[in-house]
Structure 1
Amino acid sequence: METLWYLAKLALALVLGMGSAQLLGKERFTRVSAYAQTCLVWLLLFFMGVNTGGIDGITSQFRTIGITALLITFFAVAGTILVSLLFSFILTPSLRSEHIAIAKRKEQSFIRRLYDIIKEPLILVSIVILGLLLRLGTDAFSWFESSLVTYLLYVLLFFVGMGMVHRKIRFKGVFADKSIFFLPLYTILGTYVGALGVFLFTPYTLSQVIGMLSGFGWYSLSGILITDLGYPVLGSISFLSNLMRESVSFFLIPLFGRLGKRYYYPAVCTAGATSMDVTLVLLSSHFGMRTMVGSIYHGVIMSLVAPLLIPLFF
């Protein structure tokens, strides 16, 4: 019952944000909403580091956290690729759909592409590490209460809801195209198939592994949410794993783009929730602009289900 009430409050925050944007006007407060989301994510990640630093014996677990995050990332991505390819052959055996096209693209230098890939992840990881070090090395956050994270999370989801309305996303035609409509299902199923492999090589329960993977690339939310649920170590693993998933997708999307139309499905499913924003340009540049609606639809659905699925497994 407690989990359902928690889910209801998260959903309510999201719906209130969407309703507020509708009432205030879709063109108003767009920048405010975007800046608020960025600032809140940074603040929440900082406090996530602070919270993790307060765990007894946490310094002895750093190596385990990193190895586990790498392991579950590998299995989640592998499962997603296999399942999305399998279902693409079942539902569209001849790939007659015309919405996918291998687009011509201008190649950037390796240094520039590498910089674009690592810039944001480095900033976010640095914020978490800063909070962790300040908690471990000083008494500045002896006042900290984990309940603060809960309230900030509600505010973040409120602005996420506003942002969804501001994007003016329309899914006309998506529901008639089964190959696109079922993309989120491929991602969820493939990720959870990968979780079965992780379960065999780690001490965590299958439920915990699935919960950690249920961010689907939305690393900031997954880490914060799991930490808020009372599992700061698992929150740190989930944060790193979903961050790695996004980073890996930057390398895999161009590769899939060179392999052909069929590989749009594993490309967008590997990207997870980021297919509507961070990896959207990369997906459209390698598979054609007409895939943009499908990529946005997939990312929006994954972003909606992530905060609802994660609490179910803890």
Structure 2
Amino acid sequence: MFSGMLFIFAPLVVGYLFTISNSVYIQRINRATSNLIYVILSLMGLSLAALDNLGQNLQTIVQYTLVFFLCLGACNLAVLPFVDRWLPLKTDHSNSKLPLSSMALESLKLIVVVGGGLVIGLLLPFDLNWVDTASEWILFLLLFFIGIQLRNSGLTLGQILLNKHGMVIALVIVSTSMVGGLIAAYILNISTFHGLAMASGFGWYSLAGILMGDAFGPVYGGASFLIELLRELVSLVMIPMLIRSKPCCAIGYAGATAMDFTLPVIQTTGGVRCVPIAIVSGFILSLLVPVLMLFFVSLAN
């Protein structure tokens, strides 16, 4: 039952074994990872083009996206404010302007890449049977690079375990997301394990969409991508509004993106005290995305 999970998870583990001190090599790996994400998302678009009854499947993608997004968000935000009560955090206010438009543009690029693959697949009459195999092999390489990135992120195990705020936030996001996934699965009348796997993206839209697409097909992959992308876009608006009064809630809702994409927003609006918490919670959630998602995928198959 776990053979498929181990086969996909192995590149991540192997990558995590590599310690790289040369910053030039790290930059090249980061660049390669970004490029691979664009490639595999374009292949996801091609996979959507190859679907039978595309109009009906797009309607399903939108339905899954809305139900999961609302269920996950409601469950996360129902509990996160209590973390601010239990573990109050004083923030440093800043009035610096944030390049929110630039960040939103980066997210829009990824949507355009998927849409571009879809349009190309619809307009050009060529065989698309090779897409799934190509996506699989590129996924293995992508997971290998992600493992290297996680190992060389600069956080030690001790730093993770000693940061109470980051640990609690990550625990709340994981547990409430699982509840939200179960509720969404019940509403949509799909498998429990499908629902739990879909709930395990934690904001990492590129990897979540890729893993779900590889496991369950482009409908689930497209929906998972949009669910986590919406989380990031909402986070960009929510963080400046909430971080002064409810910093743990703002950081937590950002999910895995708190350690990278939304970190500048968190740092600028919440101050330097929020940075270690955001990095640790984001790191833990990033590490758990492939672990939990592949685990539930293996149970569903």
Deviation at 1:71, TM superposition (A): 2.7
Shift of 1:163: 1.9
Of the three residues 133, 151, 154, the one matched with 1:147 is: 133
Aligned partner of 1:241 in structure 2 is: 227
Matches within 5 A, 1:196-207: 196-207=182-193
3-state DSSP of counterpart to 1:101: coil
Q: Distance in 1 between matches of 2:188 and 2:215?
A: 21
Contact kept in structure 1, 2:238 and 2:250, CA below 8 Å? yes
Counterpart of 1:308? Answer: 291
Shift of 1:66: 1.9
Are the aligned partners of 1:49 and 1:132 in contact in 2 as well (CA < 8 Å)?
yes
1:237-295 deviations in Å (ceiling 9; x for gaps):
1111111011111111111124x2xx222212211111110011112222221221221
Q: Map residues 36-51 of structure 1 onto 2, 5 A cutoff.
A: 36-51=32-47
* In 1: Cα distance, 2:29 partner to 2:163 partner: 32
> How far off is 1:19 after superposition?
2.6
Q: TM-score by structure 2 length?
A: 0.90
Question: Quick one: distance in 1 between partners of 2:293 and 2:158?
Answer: 29
Note if contact 1:214-1:306 (Cα within 8 Å) is conserved in structure 2.
Answer: yes
SS in 2 for 1:139: coil
**AA partner of residue 210 (structure 1):** L
Q: Does 1:60 align with 2:56?
A: yes
- The structural deviation recorded for 1:220 is 0.8
Equivalent position of 1:292 in the other structure: 275
CA 1:52–1:8 in structure 2 vs 1: closer, same or farther (change >3 Å)?
same
1:185 matched to which residue of 2? Answer: 171
| 7, 10, 13: which one aligns with 1:15 | 13
How far does the alpha carbon of each residue in 1:218-241 deviate from its partner, in whole angstroms, 9 at most, with x for none?
Answer: 111111111111322111111111
Q: CA shift at 1:171, angstroms?
A: 5.5
Structure 1 stretch displaced more, 174-183 or 52-61: 174-183
Structure 2 distance, partners of 1:181, 1:127, is 34
Tell me the residue number matched to 2:144.
158
CA contact (8 A) 1:105 1:285 kept: yes
- Equivalent in the alignment of 2:211: 225
Kept in 2: contact 1:88–1:179 (CA 8 A) = no
CA contact (8 A) 2:205 2:224 kept: yes
Moved more, 178-187 or 199-208: 199-208
Which of 267, 283, 289 in structure 1 is aligned with 2:250? 267
- In the alignment of these two chains, the number of paired residues is 297
- Distance in 2 (CA, whole Å) between partners of 1:177 and 1:153 is 32
SS across alignment from 2:155: coil
**1:102 and 2:98 equivalent?**
no
Contact 2:163–2:277 (CA under 8 A) maintained in structure 1 = no
Task: Name structure 2 gaps, 5 residues minimum.
Answer: none
CA contact (8 A) 1:26 1:165 kept: no
CA contact (8 A) 1:80 1:270 kept: yes
8 Å contact kept, 1:50–1:141: no
Q: Does structure 2 conserve the Cα–Cα contact (< 8 Å) formed by 1:147 and 1:228?
A: no
Q: Residues 80 and 11 of structure 1: is their aligned pair in 2 closer, same or farther, counting only changes over 3 Å?
A: same
SS at structure 1 position matched to 2:141 = helix
- Residues 171, 281 of structure 1: CA spacing in aligned structure 2 closer, same or farther, 3 A cutoff? farther
Distance 1:181 1:142 in 2: 44
Whether contact under 8 Å (2:72, 2:177) holds in the other structure is yes
Task: Determine what percentage of the aligned residue pairs are the same residue.
Answer: 26
Give the C-alpha shift of residue 33 in structure 1: 0.5
Shift of residue 174 of structure 1? 4.4
Q: Which runs of 5+ in 1 are unaligned?
A: none
SS state at 1:106 partner: coil
* Aligned pair partner of 2:31 in 18, 32, 35: 35
Cα shift at 1:32: 0.8
Give the alignment's TM-score, normalised by structure 1.
0.86
Match of 1:210 in 2: 196
